[in-house]
């Protein structure tokens, strides 16, 4: 028994206690720890696939940052998940665990495409592109407001509703792509090509990187201002930490719920509205490779703060380009990317716990 051991040992005892607060430095350590362990796990997964870890690593690094083209590709891949990461940040800050960024992404893309189908061939870029952006915001905003309203009015779990809505809009899109929106000249289920006027201009000549990336950066800045410098953001953060106290001081929880979900949805919708005109020029069912879900991990890695979300998004963009380069070099399934993302999140959560506690010596008084 511990107390008896105490009497026997003349010296001190170790105990684990909770820290009163966790500094930013320590949180950073937690992130590095998580990433470090995840890299080790990736190496194991690569080895299991029968590939040489060394060759894989070199190929990956080169594919992500090796030259200007690689960097441009990395930033391109980072763009949609930067948007969704910011979207999740806004929702999570209100303690609304929205899993709906995936569906809202499609809603925004559908809004953009719909606008183009209506008026695309008649308007110049200067008008059409802002219109497309607005359509994305509105589409995603509506798809985000729906779970917000259901939660506000009926206390329906936003977690389940957003997951369900992801499926619903996916099937709706599949329906449209097979029917009203289908490109008659194509064999595949996709929309016709977008008008050239809607295309986002490229950022670096000759590269696929487009202005959507700059839009995403601007979005990050706006999210920061929104959450920390406006009364709206103040209410969102207050509700997210202590809804009860917020209520006692007159903050309307239903209002905050709908606003946070709508803003979150709008940002995710913007991701879709920039991905179509920026990159693919068409709407297809596999437009998203899980951008909505990756956004959750990025938001958590970035500690729900734009300053963290931006580098996290770039890191994940690098992992996409790196791994596809690796796949060409050493034939490992691309799905390893998703697996690693899950691993990173788990280890991040565990590192969070580790960092929250410290070990101390206690000196028994004589």
**Binding marks (x or -) toward other proteins, 123..162, rule CB under 8 A?**
---------------------------x---xxxx-xxx-
Residue with tokens 């985000």: 144
- Least Cα distance to 323 among 33, 34, 31, 43 occurs for 43
Least distance from other proteins to the Cβ atom of residue 234, Å: 5
Q: Does 365 sit near other proteins (CB under 8 A)?
A: yes
Contact residue for other proteins among 128, 131, 227, 246 (CB under 8 A): 246
Nearer to other proteins, 13 or 282 (CB): 13
Strand-pairing partners, residue 17, are 358
Q: Does 37 sit near other proteins (CB under 8 A)?
A: no
- List the interface residues with other proteins, window 71-100 (CB under 8 A): 97, 99
Residue with tokens 């509506």: 142
Measured distance CA(62)–CA(211) in Å, rounded: 24
Least distance from other proteins to the Cβ atom of residue 156, Å: 4
Contact residue for other proteins among 130, 201, 254, 333 (CB under 8 A): 333
Long-range contacts of the stretch 255-260 (C-beta < 8 A, 24+)? 255/152, 256/94, 257/94, 257/96, 257/148, 257/151, 257/152, 258/145, 258/148, 258/149, 258/152, 259/148, 259/232, 260/90, 260/91, 260/93, 260/94, 260/96, 260/148, 260/236
Measured distance CA(315)–CA(301) in Å, rounded: 10
Total binding residues toward other proteins, as defined by CB under 8 A: 81
Nearer to other proteins, 125 or 252 (CB): 252
Least distance from other proteins to the Cβ atom of residue 305, Å: 13
- List the interface residues with other proteins, window 183-242 (CB under 8 A): 229-232, 234-235, 237-238, 241-242
Q: Does 25 sit near other proteins (CB under 8 A)?
A: no
Contact residue for other proteins among 297, 298, 313, 355 (CB under 8 A): 297
Residue with tokens 């809004």: 111
Q: Which helix (H) or strand (E) holds 158?
A: helix 158-178
Contact residue for other proteins among 47, 222, 328, 349 (CB under 8 A): 349
Least distance from other proteins to the Cβ atom of residue 39, Å: 16
């Amino acid at each position: 028994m511990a107390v008896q051991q105490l009497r026997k040992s003349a010296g001190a005892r170790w105990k684990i206690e909770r820290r009163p607060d966790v500094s930013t430095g320590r949180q950073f350590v937690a992130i590095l720890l998580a990433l470090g362990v995840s890299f080790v796990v990736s190496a194991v997964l690569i080895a299991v696939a029968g590939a040489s870890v060394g060759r894989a690593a070199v190929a990956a690094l080169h594919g992500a940052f090796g030259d200007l083209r690689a960097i441009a590709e990395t930033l391109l891949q980072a763009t949609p998940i930067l948007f969704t990461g910011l979207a999740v940040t806004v929702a999570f800050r209100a303690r609304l665990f929205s899993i709906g960024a995936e569906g809202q992404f499609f809603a925004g893309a559908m809004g953009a495409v719909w606008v183009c189908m209506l008026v695309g061939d008649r308007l110049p870029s200067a008008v059409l592109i802002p219109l497309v952006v607005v359509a994305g915001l509105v589409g995603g905003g509506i798809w985000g407001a729906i779970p917000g309203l259901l939660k506000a009015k009926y206390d329906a779990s936003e977690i389940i509703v957003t997951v369900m809505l992801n499926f619903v809009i996916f099937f709706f899109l599949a329906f449209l792509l097979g029917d009203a929106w289908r490109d008659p000249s194509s064999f595949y289920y996709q929309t016709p090509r977008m008008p050239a006027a809607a295309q986002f201009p490229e950022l670096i000549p000759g590269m696929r990187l487009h202005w959507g990336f700059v839009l995403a950066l601007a979005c990050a800045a706006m999210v920061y201002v929104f959450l920390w410098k406006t009364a709206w953001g103040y209410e969102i953060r207050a509700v997210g930490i202590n809804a009860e106290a917020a209520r006692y001081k007159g903050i309307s929880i239903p209002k905050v719920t709908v606003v946070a979900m709508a803003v979150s949805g709008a940002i995710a919708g913007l991701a879709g509205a920039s991905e179509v005109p920026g990159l693919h020029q068409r709407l297809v069912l596999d437009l998203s490779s899980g951008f909505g879900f990756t956004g959750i991990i990025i938001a958590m890695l970035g500690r729900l703060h734009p300053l963290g979300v931006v580098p996290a998004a770039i890191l994940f963009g690098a992992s996409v380009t790196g791994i596809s380069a690796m796949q060409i070099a050493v034939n490992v399934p691309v799905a390893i990317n998703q697996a690693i993302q899950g691993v990173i999140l788990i280890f991040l959560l565990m590192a969070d716990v580790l960092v929250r506690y410290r070990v101390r010596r206690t000196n028994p008084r004589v």
